[in-house]
A and B are shown apart, each in its own frame.
Chain A
């Protein structure tokens, strides 16, 4: 079964500093990996995905993620954090669903707190 692990429940960073939110995965076959963000009282919003190609994937709001096959990791990064980045971040891996569509298996989430 496919799975993802987010080892940190919470990450604290000062505004303007770089941030990293960690994710490791376990899949059979080629991984399709995603990051979603959840702001309070909102649904999950797509940030970025890795399907194939460049190991460094750029996404929304200045976020990027680096796919590392040897370490089975897909860490989310941003060079300079903003207070408005404070939210809950989920890593996910995709399973194909019979008949098409996608089933995402999510990690447990990492709460990012960016402070002034």
Chain B
């Protein structure tokens, strides 16, 4: 089965630093997402991205966060100035095939564990 790949698997950063989390969604998918999971808590939606723009974002996704699809294959999440509470596992996901409309099944990557010190 095709996979969503995320790099790095672990990222340690100092508070106030910028981090970029990288994802390669499944080829030909149209919809891209970031979710996060703080240790011991539920998986939370951050943002969805379609047609080169954000289609929806949660209240967590404030001005410190941004997403980009710079080259047609990668999908990145940037946190400009990290805070301690940004420490979490960040999951990228993709869904949907061209010509088939939306597809309810999201494919998730294995995540990037972000630790902010």
A, B: real partners:
yes
Please give, as numbers and ranges, the residues of chain A lying within 8 Å of B108 by CB-CB distance: 36, 43-45
Q: How many angstroms between the C-alpha atoms of A42 and B51 in the bound complex?
A: 28
Question: Is A46 a contact of B107 with CB atoms below 8 Å?
Answer: yes
Chain A 34-49 near chain B by CB (<8 Å), digits 1 or 0: 1010000111111001
Question: Is B104 a contact of A103 with CB atoms below 8 Å?
Answer: no
| B95 at the A interface (CB under 8 A) | yes
Question: Is B42 a contact of A104 with CB atoms below 8 Å?
Answer: no
| B117 at the A interface (CB under 8 A) | no
Q: How many angstroms between the C-alpha atoms of A103 and B49 in the bound complex?
A: 11
Q: How many angstroms between the C-alpha atoms of A17 and B44 in the bound complex?
A: 32
Given contacts A41-B110, A44-B91, A97-B56, A103 and B41 within 8 Å (CB-CB): no
Q: How many angstroms between the C-alpha atoms of A97 and B54 in the bound complex?
A: 10
Minimum C-beta distance from A37 to chain B (A): 11
Q: Give residues of chain B (47-69) contacting chain A, Cβ–Cβ below 8 Å.
A: 48, 50-51, 55-56
| B12 at the A interface (CB under 8 A) | no
**Nearest neighbor of A39 in chain B, beta-carbon distance:** B110
Chain B 82-117 near chain A by CB (<8 Å), digits 1 or 0: 000000000101011000011011111111000000
Please give, as numbers and ranges, the residues of chain B lying within 8 Å of A20 by CB-CB distance: none
Q: Which of A21-29, A64-72, A76-84, A105-113 sits within the interface? A: A105-113
Which B residues have a C-beta under 8 Å from some C-beta of A?
4, 6, 30-31, 33, 35, 41-45, 48, 50-51, 55-56, 91, 93, 95-96, 101-102, 104-111
